[in-house]
Structures are given as C-alpha cells and as structure tokens.
A and B are shown apart, each in its own frame.
Chain A
Amino acid sequence: MVLTDREIESAIKHGHIRIDPAPDVTFYSSTSVDLTLSRFLSVWRTANFPGLDTVVSPAAAGYQYSQLAKTFSEPREIGSDGYILGPNAFVLGWTAETIELPSHSRLAARVEGKSSLARLAIGVHITAPTIHAGFKGQIQLELWNHGPLQVKLMSGMRVCQLIFEQTLGTPEKGYSGQFFAQSKK
C-alpha cells in the first residue's frame, strides 16, 4: 500500500520516517516526496589504451569492491557551474538528504526518477530502487544519461522521488531475531 502525502507527513511526525533536512511542503506530491542531489559524485574510469582491458568480475573469489573503487573511481564535486552529464555518461550520486526507515515502522520505500528528468533521458537508478526497512543514510543514485543531449546536474536540484510502502508485518531484524527459524521448525 502506497502512502499518501498526509500519511508520509504523519509518519515523519511520529518518527516512522526520518528525512534530514526535512522536506519543504512543496517537495510533496500526492504519493511521494522529492529529494535533492548532493554535491558529491563519483565517476568510474577505465583503462583507456590499446592492449589493456578492464574487466570486473564481482562473482570472483576475493573480489574486493574497496580495491576496485580505489583504483577505478574518481571523486567529483558539483561546483557552482554544475556538472555536465554527457550522452551515455554514468556517474554515482547521492541524495543530500539522509533517510531513516526504522525496522519497526513497517515501511519500505522505492526511489524513482522524476518525469522532468526522465524526458531528458536521465535515469536515477539501475534496477536497484528498493530502500529496505531499516535503511539509514543517504541514498546512492546511479545517474545515467540515456539520451542525446548534454544535461547539467546541479547540487540541490530535485533529482528523485521516494515512494513509501507499508510492509505486511515487521521484518525479523525488527524483533532482534527472537523469532528466528520458528517458522522452519
């Protein structure tokens, strides 16, 4: 069941959803709340000369994401002039807001794009939109320009929306595991 604006505001008021900084009333729609882009981006780069291929194998034994990130990512900051996301370009970004969905709230969420950016062919996630019950932190965005235009990203721009859904019951972790494996007996 998707929460309406009134239910989202009520959930925030009662601490079942935490958004910091709190969204202005203009950031709500009937069934979502907008979030903004922080100034931090991360760009993947690859080896770019003949004879050297960059192949990532996440399923390999000993795969270390930290080493991959250290070797092949570059931090970028969005300055006052913005950041140009060119055609077919991909960057990681983060919401400026920190989100918390306490496990006992019986809420999860989906981060989705905004139609204003979608019509420019800007996507904000790649098949990973779920904000699970218990989430705490800034939301990572996979920003990808699918279209032919160069699009300027600005820090603080409305970049995505959160849609909150009620879960059926409280997840196991909300009970600190006290009912672990009971259903399997």
Chain B
Amino acid sequence: MNVPCKIVDGLTPAEKIAIVESADGQIEEVAVSKENLSGESLLADEIGRHEGKVLVELPRETASGRWRIWVKDSENRHSAAG
C-alpha cells in the first residue's frame, strides 16, 4: 500500500525521512531507505480497515516509537503491483 508522505533527506544519501499524517492528524516521521519509497509515497503493509481508516504497518519504527498507525483510507492507493 502506498501512503502519501512528504519526503526529506535523512542522515545519509541512502536514507530519507518520510513524514506521514495519521488519520487523527498526528504527524509521524519515519527514517527509511530509498527502497521503502515509491515516488511521493511510503510503502507500507495494510493490516486492517475500520470506518474509513486503514491500519498500516510502516517499514520502520517512527520517531514516536510506533510501527502501526491508522491513516485515512482516501489518502491511500494501492500500488500497481497490488
């Protein structure tokens, strides 16, 4: 699943920081490798859905210590590979 995010440079050329907004408006930052990104999206795994929200597991732990966050369903789109 592609989660829209803002991407800024990380600590090395291979590292990026993806900034994601959760369904409740919380900003989450996660330091990832380039391989975890697709364009302006963070590649995450869908865990479940509930009332218009999607629970995703991020590729790394966020700066706040979370692996799984709820994001708005409308903000996600499936990758071409499904």
Question: Which A residues have a C-beta under 8 Å from some C-beta of B?
Answer: 38, 40, 42, 58-59, 62-66, 69, 73, 75, 92, 94, 98, 100, 103, 134-138, 140, 172-174, 176-177, 180-181
Contacts and interface: CB of A to CB of B under 8 A. Distances in A.
Given A40-B12, A64-B63, A75-B12, 13 more contacts: A38-B14, A58-B64, A58-B65, A64-B27, A65-B63, A69-B17, A94-B14, A103-B45, A137-B59, A137-B60, A138-B15, A140-B31, A177-B47
A102 B59 CA distance: 11
Q: Interface residues of B toward A: which range?
A: 20 to 34
Contacts of B31: 65, 140
B52 interface: no
B48 to A, nearest CB: 3
Contact of A135 (B10, B48, B59): B59
A108 to B, nearest CB: 13
Interface in B10-31: 10-15, 17, 19, 27, 29, 31
B57 A66 contact: no
B12 A42 contact: yes
B32 A137 contact: yes
A65 B64 CA distance: 9
A180 B33 CA distance: 27
Nearest to A93: B12
Chain B binding surface, main DSSP class? strand
A134 B59 contact: yes
A134 B60 CA distance: 10
B29 A134 contact: no
B42 interface: no
Contact of B49 (A73, A140, A177): A177
Contacts of B12: 38, 40, 42, 75, 94
